[in-house]
């Protein structure tokens, strides 16, 4: 079992980068403010040194994550429990552990599920956040038929459609900026020839964390006084750059729907709001 402990800054710069990327009319969180739900994915970036990178852009397997011999890595989901708020500009202690590595076979062939658990605490030992992340490794698909990689800039990605729903638009620039804000070098998000010809996707892949963060942002847009106690997220299918998508907030269940209304990502939240817990 791999275990790593680090001291890290809740960095204001990538927080400002994500606020600029979302461009949704909400004020950008400032130093001293509490981090919105899931923004720790941005506020605690980990930049790997160049010599550690593998062919897919991620750090080569066998450093922290296990040496899984399957090329496709996907962020499948997880769960976060919030305790003491994380504040921008604070220094925290991160403890990360590879909890399990499980091999399975399904209709799409062999896959490996890696579970990573993380605890974030204040310097004086108060637990802020506990998280489980599920990573899935699969074999590559057949090379995809090349499609034009030209996109019209979408501008702000959030557009309110009706009560409780927003259109969510992506373009290559948005994906590149999110990769930069989160220190994510995975080539499927910005390298179109690699994504289509090597990993067999039909286009650039929208980041799983970006889809989950977009859903969490609808809480700030729709229910600004809500306080999140626990949040679980699941990526059911990939969304590709430029595909139309809809964010739908229905009570405690939030969904990102792709073309044809097919579910791509779901978020379930347990809220404290004005002293009341919403299941």
Given a cut of 60, is residue 276 above it in pLDDT? no
Distance separating alpha carbons of residues 192 and 179, to the nearest angstrom? 14
Judged by average pLDDT, the poorest of 4-8, 89-93, 248-252 is: 248-252
Name which residue leads in pLDDT, 56 or 147.
56
- Which pLDDT band, with edges at 50, 70 and 90, does 273 fall under? low
Query: Could you tell me which of 184, 239, 195 has the C-alpha nearest to residue 215?
Result: 239
Domain topology for 3-278: Thiol Ester Dehydrase; Chain A (3.10.129)
In the prediction, which pLDDT does 150 show? 63
- What is the arithmetic mean of pLDDT over 140-158? 75
Q: Is the pLDDT of residue 278 over 50?
A: no
- pLDDT, the chain, mean: 90
Q: So what's the pLDDT on residue 146?
A: 59
Q: What is the mean pLDDT of the segment spanning 181-191?
A: 95
Find, among 21, 29, 39, the residue nearest to 212 by Cα.
39
pLDDT at 226: 79
- pLDDT for the residue 148: 60
72, two tokens: 């496709």
What is the chain written as a DSSP string? --EEEEEEE--HHHHHHHHHHH-SSSPPP-TTSBPPTTTHHHHS-----GGGB-TTSSBPTTSSS-----SEEEEEEEEEEE-SPPBTT-EEEEEEEEEEEEEEEETTEEEEEEEEEEEEEETTS-EEEEEEEEEEEEPPPPPPPP---------SSEEEEETTEEEE---HHHHHHHHHHTT---GGGT-HHIIIIIS--SSPBPPHHHHHHHHHHHHHHH-TT-EEEEEEEEE-S--BTT--EEEEEETTEEEEE-GGG-EEEEEEEEEEETTEEE-
Whole-model pTM: value is: 0.91
Indicate whether 131 pLDDT > 90.
yes
The pair of three-digit structure tokens given for residue 151, joined into one six-digit string: 């996109």
Kindly indicate the confidence band of residue 279, based on its pLDDT and cuts at 50, 70 and 90: very low
* Residue boundaries of the structural domains of the chain: 3-278
Which pLDDT value is given to residue 277?
36
- Is the pLDDT reported for residue 129 higher than 50? yes
pLDDT in tens, 71-107: 888 999 999 999 999 999 999 999 999 999 999 987 7
Give pLDDT, residue 252. 84
């Amino acid at each position: 079992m791999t275990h790593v402990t680090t001291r890290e800054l809740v960095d204001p710069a990538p927080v400002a980068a994500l606020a600029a990327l979302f461009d949704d009319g909400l004020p950008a969180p400032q130093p001293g403010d509490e981090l919105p739900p899931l923004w720790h994915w941005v506020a605690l970036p980990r930049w790997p040194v160049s010599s550690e990178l593998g062919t897919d852009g991620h750090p080569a397997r066998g450093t922290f994550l296990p040496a899984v011999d399957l090329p496709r890595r996907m962020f499948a989901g997880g769960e976060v429990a919030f305790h003491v708020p994380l504040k921008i500009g604070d220094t925290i202690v991160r403890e990360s552990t590879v909890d399990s590595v499980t091999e399975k076979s399904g209709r799409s062939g062999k896959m490996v599920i890696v579970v990573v658990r993380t605890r974030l605490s204040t310097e004086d030992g108060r637990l802020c956040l506990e998280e489980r992340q599920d990573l899935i490794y699969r074999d590559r698909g057949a090379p995809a038929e090349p499609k034009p990689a030209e996109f019209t800039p979408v501008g702000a990605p959030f557009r309110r459609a009706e009560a409780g729903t927003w259109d969510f638009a992506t373009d290559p620039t948005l994906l590149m900026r999110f990769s930069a804000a989160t220190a994510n070098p995975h080539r499927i998000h910005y390298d179109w020839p690699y994504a289509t010809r090597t990993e067999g996707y039909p286009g650039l892949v929208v980041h799983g964390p970006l889809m989950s963060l977009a859903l969490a942002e609808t809480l700030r847009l729709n229910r600004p006084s809500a306080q999140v106690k626990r949040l679980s997220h699941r990526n059911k299918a990939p969304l590709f750059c430029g595909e139309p998508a809809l964010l739908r907030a229905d009570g405690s269940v939030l969904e990102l729907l792709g073309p044809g209304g097919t579910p791509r990502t779901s978020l379930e939240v347990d809220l404290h709001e004005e002293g009341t817990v919403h299941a």
